[in-house]
Amino acid sequence: MTDRYGPDVLAGDWRVPRNGRSKEVEAETGLVVEDVDTGWCGAVTRVEKAGGMHVVHLEDRRGRSKGFPLGPGFLLDGRPVVLTPPRAAARAQVAAARQAASRTASGSLAVHGAKAKVASGSRIFVEGRHDAELVERVWGHDLRVEGVVVEMLDGVDDLEAAIRDFQPGPGRRMGVLVDHLVAGTKEQRVVEAARRLQPYAAHVKILGHPYVDVWQSVRPDRLGLQAWPVIPRGTSWKHGICAHLGWPHQSQADIARAWKQILGTVRTYADLEPTLLASVEELIDFVTEPGH
């Protein structure tokens, strides 16, 4: 007797599509596929991650491009495929991440597994705690590897006395970072006299930056500013900055919290102004010069 209803529809593996089981294919550039839902056919131009998902861009023969969610729903030579991120791109991302991890915040090559050296005789001096914390955040790894200690001066009004106390000489160099070192200022006069101080002059390097405070050496866009505001004379600069940003500034604790918030925006040297970077790098080179 002929079966008028045909074969059993549940016979066999019903999960296999009529065109065959979908296989995974890497979405390599140039691969030509068709989107099942829209019929759009084109070559893969790129795969990117957007909104927590991967998107593949297909360019048709007219040069038009359209993006589709990466995954199932594509045909390759008439057969269903599941597009996956290209492994070459994934490897490149991993390599980039590893390369970034091999760099310190200052951009230099990280030395992994090395113990900090015993402190050398040479030192770098900065004006205050905030300067020291900023230098530590960006150059701390480099300085520990080199065995260079950063000390605080609490201002430069008596810089000559600080130099005499340290007594720089061969194997004991002294680098000094000065805030607001611009022409016509008190700082410039103090520094010019200190640079001539004998018999220490050959073993001392004094550099600075033009900013009123080291806060200003952090790029303003890190705080959502186009530029650091100008604070009127007679107003404490740090208090004025906090007021401009809408932050509490009545007490010293408020100022300390404000600095922590600013310092928290600094991840690498790229978050700092070039003038500060150049001065700190030159001071590090000076105190770590071979033979000294």
Structure tokens at 166: 């340290």
d(C-alpha 215, C-alpha 252), whole Å: 15
Regarding predicted confidence, which is higher, 104 or 274?
A: 274
Domains of the chain: 23-90 (2.30.30.30), 123-218+266-287 (3.40.50)
Cβ atoms of residues 211 and 182 within 8 Å: no
Most confident of 72-86, 94-108, 191-205, 219-233: 191-205
For residues 234 and 83, give the distance between their C-alpha atoms in angstroms, rounded to a whole number: 65
Quick one: pLDDT at residue 15? 45
On the question of pLDDT at 248 being above 90, the answer is yes
Rg (the chain; Cα; Å): 31
The more confident residue out of 270 and 113 is 270
For the segment 188-208, the average pLDDT, to the nearest whole number, is: 95
Position 231 pLDDT exceeds 50: yes
Which 3 state secondary structure label does DSSP give 3? coil
- The residue-averaged pLDDT of 182-202 equals 94
pLDDT at position 130 is 95
pLDDT band at 282 (very low <50, low <70, confident <90, very high): very high
Residue 134 CB-density burial (10 A; 0-12 exposed, 13-18 middle, 19+ buried): buried
Residue with tokens 């979405």: 27
- pLDDT tens digits, 58-115: 988 888 888 899 999 999 988 999 999 888 655 555 555 555 556 666 555 555 555 5
pLDDT tier at 29 (50, 70, 90 boundaries)? confident
* Average confidence (pLDDT) over 231-255: 91
Q: What is the β-pairing status of strands 123-126 and 174-178?
A: parallel
Residue-averaged pLDDT of the chain: 84
More confident residue, 3 or 281: 281
CA dist 263 and 81 (Å) reads: 50
